Amino acid sequence: MTDLYRLLPEEMEELVMNLGYERYRADQILYPLYYKYPKSLSDIPQIPKALREKFTEEGYEIGSSNETHRVVSDDGNTTKLLLNLSENQAIETVLMQYPSSKVGGHPRSTICVSTQIGCAMGCVFCATGQMGFESNLKAEQIVSQVIHFAKLLQERGEHVTNLVFMGMGEPLANYDEMIRAIKILTHDRGFGLGQRHITVSTIGITSGIDKLAEENLQIGLAISLHAPNDDLRKKLVPTAGPNSVQEIIEAGRRYYKKTGRRVTFEYALMKGINDSPEIAEELAWLLQGNGSHVNIIPINPTAGDFRRPDEDSVLEFERILYNAGVNCTVRVEKGTEISAACGQLRTDIVG
Residue 345 confidence (pLDDT) above 90:
no
d(Cα 244, Cα 246) in Å, to the nearest integer? 6
Q: What is the pLDDT of residue 341?
A: 45
d(Cα 71, Cα 67) in Å, to the nearest integer? 11
Listed ranges 88-97, 107-116, 326-335; the one with the highest mean pLDDT:
107-116
pLDDT, tens digit, for every residue of 235-285? Answer: 999 999 999 999 999 999 999 999 999 999 999 999 999 999 999 999 999
To the question of pTM greater than 0.85 for the whole model, the response is yes
Confidence of residue 351 (pLDDT cuts 50, 70, 90): very low
Q: What is the pLDDT of residue 94?
A: 94
pLDDT, tens digit, for every residue of 52-69? Answer: 999 999 999 998 778 888
Q: What is the pLDDT of residue 304?
A: 65
Q: What is the pLDDT of residue 238?
A: 94
Q: Single out the residue of 139, 131, 143 nearest to residue 169, CA to CA.
A: 131
Q: What is the pLDDT of residue 335?
A: 46
What dihedral angle (degrees, nearest 10) is formed by the CA atoms of 134, 305, 221, 262? 180
pLDDT, tens digit, for every residue of 122-146? Answer: 888 888 877 889 999 999 999 999 9
Residue 336 confidence (pLDDT) above 80:
no
Please, what is the average pLDDT of the chain? 91
Q: What is the pLDDT of residue 267?
A: 96
Q: What is the pLDDT of residue 87?
A: 65
Angle, CA 26 vertex, CA 1 and CA 214 arms, to 5°: 80
Specify the 3-state DSSP secondary structure of 266.
strand
Q: Where are the beta strands (DSSP E) in the chain?
A: 2-3, 60-61, 66-72, 78-84, 90-98, 108-112, 116-118, 133-136, 162-165, 198-202, 220-224, 263-269, 293-298, 327-330
Residue 347 confidence (pLDDT) above 50:
no
pLDDT, tens digit, for every residue of 201-213? Answer: 999 999 999 999 9
Residue 344 confidence (pLDDT) above 80:
no
Strand partners, 84: 66, 90
**Catalytic positions, please?**
92, 342
Q: What is the pLDDT of residue 164?
A: 97
Domain annotation for the chain: domains and CATH numbers: 2-61 (1.10.150.530), 66-338 (3.20.20.70)
Tell me the CA distances in angstroms from 324 to 155, 224, 285, 287, 293, one per residue in order. 47, 21, 8, 9, 13
Confidence of residue 350 (pLDDT cuts 50, 70, 90): very low
Q: What is the pLDDT of residue 334?
A: 54
Tell me the CA distances in angstroms from 1 to 32, 111, 320, one per residue in order. 20, 27, 55
Confidence of residue 111 (pLDDT cuts 50, 70, 90): very high
Sign of the four-CA dihedral 256, 259, 261, 263 = negative
Residue 296 confidence (pLDDT) above 50:
yes
Listed ranges 11-15, 97-101, 102-106; the one with the highest mean pLDDT:
11-15
Least confident of 43-52, 72-81, 106-115, 232-241: 72-81
